Chains A and B, each alone.
Chain A
Amino acid sequence: MSEFLSPKDLPAALAARAAHPDYIPVAGGTDYMVASKDRLPPPGIINLFGLGALTGVTDLDGGGVRIGACTTYATLLGDARIANTFPLLRDACREVGASQIQARGTLGGNIATSSPVGDSLPPLLALDAVICVASSAGERRVAYEDFLVGYRKIDLAADELIVAIELPAPHVGAMQHWRKVGTRRAQSISKVMMAAVAHLDDGRIADIRIALGAVADRTVRARATEDALRGSAPSEEAAKRAREALRGEITPIDDLRSTAEYRLGVAENLVRRFVLSL
């Protein structure tokens, strides 16, 4: 008999998580239901979808936002703050699956699954997201890059839940850019994604953050590429240096959706195009 728990509030959810480390926390179910298809029922499910404390977008001091982990893509797409301040995240949400997936899929769920091809993940890295994690013992905050520890592995203990994602306000005038490359716009699993944020100071790239998906075992920041660009004017010359750096730091693979060579070439082109657009 598989138990189905729908805790009424966050303390009840955390208590259920602590009491049943073998139960599966489920938000929108869009990943879990595929993974569990044709398998034996789980020992139990802790249903988090719609839990008030985990849902919705709130303002933070300083212009950032706190997004509840179980906020759906559809909710994010309807939120003016996300559209105005974090268009990068809005653009990525718009290309996750299609209407049906967007109605159920959640940001926290995408983070928990932590697939290297998760569409919302590069924007979170490029926007310097902080992941808020809770257990009955309290809450802790982790930089998203540190939260990603391996292939589909995140820094989450068996008694913890992801409760929120905090995005600091981007630098005034920062450019945000999203590009997903796949076989078709909706419903396709990405071959390569790039999320980038940058701002110029006096004609030079003062800061740049580039995050890539589907080019490594996890979503990655292209730090060597960023270093190669910081301080330069956005020119062909800078784009060329970025390309050399990028080749040295990403490790795409061949799989059923694409080849390593194609992914590398596309990633280089996406970075070049972003640099030249600045």
Chain B
Amino acid sequence: MNIEVTINGESRSIETEGHRRLLDVLREELGLVGTKEGCGEGECGACTVLMDGEPVNSCLVPVGQIQGTQLTTIEGMAGSDGLHIIQDTLVRYGGAQCGICTPGVALCAKWAVEKEPGASKERLRELLAGNICRCTGYQAIVDAVVAAQNSSESSHE
């Protein structure tokens, strides 16, 4: 089938079979290898991408379902002026170690902070609970997201 989709702001046309995993099409057809495979069963969140603004596990999306949607992968997160604030704070607070969960964490955190700008630390943990990290113990990730949240608030003042 032919799929028309916007990925990281760019219109793409893909010829593939609709039952394939979005994760595989991103990595193998489009070369967007920033999206990582962890468990492949929707339990770890490593392969998270944003689909029409919502976080989804790309291992669980049959690629036929992306027809006409807007996707953001980790490759589309930084702007021309540098890292997204969440990427920046993840680096500064030690929220990224081995790096497998990091693209998914960064995208889910971007969604969480935009969806609920005033979310408490506990609420942020709940919104990010679908992203498993085996290195950081989560504290550094949460600290990074809170720092990004605070800095986005101050930038709006």
Give B38-89 interface residues, CB cut-off 8 Å to A. Answer: 40-43, 45, 48, 51, 54-57, 59-62, 64-65, 67
A6-B64, A29-B60 as given contacts; A103 in contact with B19, CB under 8 Å: no
- B132: chain A residues at CB < 8 Å are 187
Contact A30–B60 (Cβ < 8 Å)? yes
**In the bound complex, what is the Cα–Cα distance between A100 and B42 (angstroms)?**
8
Main secondary structure of the interface of B (DSSP, over half): loop
Using an 8 Å CB-CB cutoff, how does the interface string of A37-68 with B read, 1 for contact, 0 for none? 10001100101011000000000000000000
Q: Which residue of B lies closest to A26 (CB)?
A: B62
- Tell me which of A30, A42, A49, A186 has the highest count of chain B C-beta atoms within 10 A of its own C-beta: A186
Partner of B129, one of A6, A42, A187: A187
Shortest CB–CB separation between residue A113 and chain B, in angstroms? 13
Which residue on chain A has the smallest CB distance to residue B49?
A100
Complex alpha-carbon distance, A2 and B62, angstroms: 12
Instruction: Compute how far the CA of A184 lies from the CA of B55 in the bound complex, rounded to whole angstroms.
Output: 21
With A2-B17, A4-B17 as contacts: A99 and B129 at CB distance below 8 Å: yes
CB-CB nearest in chain A for B48 = A100
CA A36 to CA B19, docked complex, whole Å: 10
- The answer on a CB contact under 8 Å between A37 and B40 is yes
Give chain B residues whose Cβ lies under 8 Å from the Cβ of A74: 54
Q: Which of B19, B45, B111 contacts A45 (CB 8 A)?
A: B19
Q: Is there an interface contact between A103 and B55, defined as CB atoms closer than 8 Å?
A: yes
- B: interface residue count bin: 20 to 34
Q: Which of B19, B45, B128 has the most CB atoms of chain A within a 10 A radius of its CB?
A: B19
**Number of A-B pairs whose CB atoms are under 8 Å?**
96
8 Å CB interface, B77-124 against A? 108, 111-112
B112 touches A101 (CB 8 A): no
Q: Is the interface of A mostly helix, strand, loop or mixed?
A: loop
Q: Does A19 contact B (CB under 8 A)?
A: no
Tell me which residues across on chain A come within 8 A of B17, comparing CB atoms: 1-2, 4, 41
Residues A101 and B126 in contact, CB atoms below 8 Å apart? no
* Contact (Cβ within 8 A) A98 B45: yes
- Name the B residues within 8 Å of A104 (CB-CB): 56-57, 60-61
Bound-complex Cα distance A41 to B129 (A)? 31
Find B45's partner among A4, A32, A47, A100 (CB 8 Å cutoff): A100
Assess whether A101 is in contact with B57, with CB atoms less than 8 Å apart. Answer: yes
* A185 vs B54: C-alpha distance when bound (angstroms): 21
Which residues of B have CB within 8 Å of A29?
60-62, 65
Q: Which of A37, A42, A103 contacts B41 (CB 8 A)?
A: A37
CB closest chain-A residue, reference B53: A103
* A2 / chain B contacts, CB cutoff of 8 Å: 17-19
Once the chains bind, are B1 and A100 in contact (CB under 8 Å)?
A: no
**B-contact 0/1 string along A169-180, CB 8 Å cutoff:** 000000000000
- Other than the given A97-B130, A185-B126, 17 more pairs (CB < 8 A) read A2-B17, A4-B18, A29-B61, A47-B65, A98-B128, A99-B55, A99-B130, A100-B57, A100-B108, A100-B130, A101-B42, A101-B130, A103-B55, A103-B56, A104-B56, A104-B57, A104-B60
- A-B residue pairs in contact (CB < 8 Å), sample of 12: A2-B19, A4-B64, A6-B67, A29-B60, A34-B42, A37-B41, A41-B17, A97-B42, A100-B60, A103-B56, A104-B61, A185-B126
Interchain residue pairs A-B with the least CB separation, the first 3: A4-B18, A98-B130, A186-B129
